[in-house]
Amino acid sequence: MAKAVILFLRVGVQLLALPIYLLSFLGIWNPFCKKIFFPFFIEKFTATYNQRMSEQKQELFRNLQEFAGPSGELTLLEIGTGTGANFQFYPPGCKLTCTDTDLHFQRGLSRSTAQNQHLQFQRFLVAPGEDLSQVADNSVDAVICTLVLCSVQSIEGVLKEVLRVLRPGGAFYFLEHVAADHSSWSYFWQQVYNPTWKLVFNGCCLTRETWKNLEQAKFSEIKLRHIHAPLYWTPVQSHVIGYAIK
């Protein structure tokens, strides 16, 4: 019965989004989304998200400096940098390498770079999280990934690369929206919205159980918490936050 209701409501949502589905069928939506809509949306969303999640981000990155190498320098690699939403939370003087697959965030990224001169920007790489071949083995102290694993092709592939580039004892920091508890209304609506949400928001999936991938990866230790983000009336309130040590 529940599955039938979900399918019925999905059709209703898809009818409301029919113009986007038609543009997608005609091959127009995807390039428009990547070049114009999604970068514009992310820039606006980032400002709201950072405002509402500032306390959680500050707490998450509070101990980053503890993972600095023997020289005292902290080298960071960020996967899916986007517009640089995390820059303000990183400790002064750390050396940062940024990666993303989308060059259309450049305007917001340039602004964030200019506003965060406390960081040493090393490189900006165009690369998916599943293929960080431009980064050497065991070469970084910490890898950062926030609101990215919802849309990658393979979470397992990303985590495999994270473990490769991290030095022994290095840490992987994550903050990701995930599937809600299966018995909740939140999860019900996530299932309803998910097909259309993925189309509109560039492949973002609402129902991934990312914590399972993190727990199954070959980290020596993981500190993970489930939280409800103050993103009211949205299907992305359920989050996992924490870090894992190689």
pLDDT at 108: 83
Q: What is the mean pLDDT of residues 208-215?
A: 97
Task: Write out the two tokens for 209.
Answer: 């159980």
How confident is residue 23, by pLDDT bands cut at 50, 70 and 90?
very high
* Residue 236, SS3 per DSSP: coil
Q: Which CATH architecture has domain 2-66+73-81+92-245?
A: 3-Layer(aba) Sandwich (3.40)
Q: What is the mean pLDDT of residues 197-219?
A: 96
- Sorted by where each begins, the domain ranges of the chain are 2-66+73-81+92-245
Q: Which of 127, 116, 40 has its CA nearest to residue 81?
A: 127
Q: Model pTM greater than 0.85?
A: yes
Provide the percentage of residues in the chain whose pLDDT is more than 90.
90
pLDDT at 71: 83
Q: What is the mean pLDDT of residues 141-148?
A: 97
Instruction: Give helix 2-16 / helix 18-25 axis angle, nearest 10°.
Output: 70
What are φ and ψ of residue 225, in 5° steps? -130, 145
**Half-sphere CA count of 49, side-chain side, radius 13 A:** 20
Torsion over CA: 9, 11, 17, 21 (sign): positive
d(CA 66, CA 74): 9
